[in-house]
Amino acid sequence: MIRNKKVVVVLPAYNAAKTLKITYDEIDFSIVDEVILVDDKSRDETILVARELGIRHIVEHSVNKGYGGNQKSCYRKALELGADIVIMLHPDYQYTPLLIPSLAHLLASGLYEVALGSRILGKGALRGGMPVYKYVSNRFLTFFQNLMMGAKLSEYHTGYRAFTRKVLETICYEENSDNFVFDNQMLAQIWYAGFDIAEVTCPTKYFREASSINIRNSITYGFGVLKTSLLYRLSKWKIHRSPLFRSKLTS
């Protein structure tokens, strides 16, 4: 526990049996108080490995709910456990858990409510094996979102994120998609609610066992990002108020 803050790491898992142990072994338990694994109806032995590792909080989906649906379960459970800081880490070892202390301290300091591990800062994305088409689409979509949202993030598409309890209790993430665009919708909601976002350089690894969406899903995701950005701007202009941008505190 840092600065009297309870830090909880959530692992949204799907077929992560081969990479879960190496991910878990790098978690710094001098910082982290609890780990939650939510298994989205994996077809491998993810649950068995999680139990062997001694993960106490395991949530098993009886049906596959999708990437966004998995995260919703993660955050509900983290809040239930009394988390002050929630760090979402993919258990496929694409992102190193060694950055958990940095992300946690940024939030525990009170300077920020959200922190992201950015693959783009430091030119780590291509060096880590990110496919060129994904890199190019990442840069275009990020440019468009920064333009629509009046922000200057290096990327909106990282899966390495830390939130304070206040953020999760404010934004209506339950309204978001159950699919991959969930992440993007969360950042739009966070900007809309007026929270500041920090970024830290994050190396990334692309390899066979690491999860990655295919080209078809990438295209669907891209259109979802464009839609989210436009809904954000229309809501800001009070032309159309999307349910995504309601606040739990006022709804």
Q: Does residue 251 fall inside a structural domain?
A: no
Q: Does residue 122 fall inside a structural domain?
A: yes
101 pLDDT exceeds 80? yes
**Mean pLDDT within 131-151:** 90
- Check: CB of residue 36 under 8 Å from CB of residue 78: yes
Q: Which of 95-99, 120-124, 146-150, 188-192 has the lowest mean pLDDT?
A: 120-124
Q: Does residue 1 fall inside a structural domain?
A: no
Residue 50's domain spans which residues? 7-245
pLDDT score of 135? 84
Q: Is the pTM of this model over 0.85?
A: yes
* Res. 146 pLDDT band, cuts 50 70 90: very high
Q: 30-46: b or e for each residue (b if 16 or more CB lie within 10 Å)?
A: ebbbbbbbbbbebeeeb
Could you read off the pLDDT of 155-204 as tens digits, one per residue? Answer: 999 999 999 999 999 999 999 999 999 999 999 999 999 999 999 999 88
Could you read off the pLDDT of 16-68 as tens digits, one per residue? Answer: 999 999 999 999 999 999 999 999 999 999 999 999 999 999 999 999 999 99
Residue indicated by tokens 């989906």:
61
Q: What is the DSSP string of 11-74?
A: EEESS-TTTHHHHHHT--TTT--EEEEEE-S-SSSHHHHHHHHT-SEEEE-SS--HHHHHHHHH
Counting the structural domains of the chain, the total is 1
pLDDT score of 1? 63
Residue indicated by tokens 């840069």:
139
Q: Does residue 163 fall inside a structural domain?
A: yes
Q: Does residue 161 fall inside a structural domain?
A: yes
210 pLDDT exceeds 60? no
Q: Does residue 250 fall inside a structural domain?
A: no
- Check: CB of residue 162 under 8 Å from CB of residue 106: yes
pLDDT score of 167? 98
> Minimal CA–CA distance to 149: which of 239, 233, 237, 221?
233
pLDDT score of 203? 87
Q: Does residue 223 fall inside a structural domain?
A: yes
Q: Does residue 2 fall inside a structural domain?
A: no
The CATH number for 164's domain is: 3.90.550.10
Question: Which residues are registered as beta bridge partners of 10?
Answer: 36, 88
Q: What is the β-pairing status of strands 161-164 and 85-88?
A: antiparallel
CA–CA gap between residue 95 and residue 119 (Å, rounded): 9
